[in-house]
Structure 1
């Protein structure tokens, strides 16, 4: 699974300003160094906490029973990329009958095998699946911050449909500390296959 990567938060951007303010008020170089270090430590702690909660949630829902979530429902499927006997990537497709779309989910490639076209092949598999099953569009949502991920979706024909800064990851508690030290941007993509 592609893990969500946090984007700079207000606390992260304010760290240099707080350091200057701290020095102006205390005239202590030690305290001035500790303030940004403390803020970065809190950011690391809450980012790690949110990502681990997200993974725990995923591993106890759809990824705990792939057959039930992706193989049994009509119009849904799950693929695994294997190289030299090792699983190196995964992708899922889940039907949304209400609007005749299929959602591309859980695309992930082992970091040691990225840049070899595996993600593109997995993405194409979902597109082929959507065409065979007469879906009008393929949709996806991502919290990826890497430019390469967005370029991959665009190279497959997806159009960026917008983003939101108010996305709540599964497993987030929405505590004040989480909102202050961890934020993600959620991007929506769509590939129209045919008009309804």
Structure 2
């Protein structure tokens, strides 16, 4: 990606950054609602037990088909609601005032720009005093540009920021359902 530019956030980027963050978070609805079931066998067992119990009580075959679909829809609806609530909170805090929250001496937000379009974002939030950790936040790459090294370039910016500002370490949090993100973070040296 010779045309990729990773630079600091500018106020003109705000709408694209917010949209990219929103889209990235909305992708997590399916991850948490469906793919997350692999990580929670107790939920699968509970759903199976509920289906069998309803069948025993009602003796209706359509319950075996309908109840799992209702349960999956319920998981999807709940996940979507939680993600929307999280997006609202982020919009009222850091993502609503990117310039004021991130563009300070101990914090930064970078954008990855490809052919004039923002295709990736990442933020670093450090403590006021150097020596502590800096947090990698808001990593998101446009779905159509993944697996091209954009996430790696953004992650390296955070590490460079931490070194330049004498932070002791870089920390981050992510879900257990996003294995591509885990692979990226391992490539960046995270454990």
What range describes the TM-score normalised by the shorter chain of this pair? 0.7 to 0.9
Report what 1:157 is aligned to.
189
User: Are 1:11 and 1:39, in contact at CA under 8 Å, matched by a contact in 2?
Assistant: no
Q: 1:47 aligns with which of 63, 71, 79?
A: 79
Higher helix share: 2
TM value normalised by structure 2: 0.76
Partner of 2:95, secondary structure, is helix
Partner of 2:106, secondary structure, is coil
Q: Which sections of structure 1, spanning at least 5 residues, go unmatched? A: 160-196
> Separation in 2 of the partners of 1:144 and 1:57?
22
User: Are 1:12 and 1:39, in contact at CA under 8 Å, matched by a contact in 2?
Assistant: no
Aligned pair count?
Answer: 158
Tell me the CA shift for residue 33 of structure 1. Answer: 2.0
Higher strand share: 1
Report what 1:76 is aligned to.
107
User: Are 1:12 and 1:43, in contact at CA under 8 Å, matched by a contact in 2?
Assistant: no
TM value normalised by structure 1: 0.74
Tell me the CA shift for residue 132 of structure 1. Answer: 1.1
CA RMSD of aligned residues (A): 1.8
- Which string of whole-angstrom CA distances, capped at 9 and with x for unpartnered residues, describes residues 28-55 of structure 1? 1122322212211211111111111111
Q: Which sections of structure 2, spanning at least 5 residues, go unmatched? A: 1-20
> Separation in 1 of the partners of 2:176 and 2:158?
19
- Which string of whole-angstrom CA distances, capped at 9 and with x for unpartnered residues, describes residues 108-150 of structure 1? 0011111100000000011111111111111111125121111
Report what 1:127 is aligned to.
159
> Separation in 2 of the partners of 1:46 and 1:53?
11
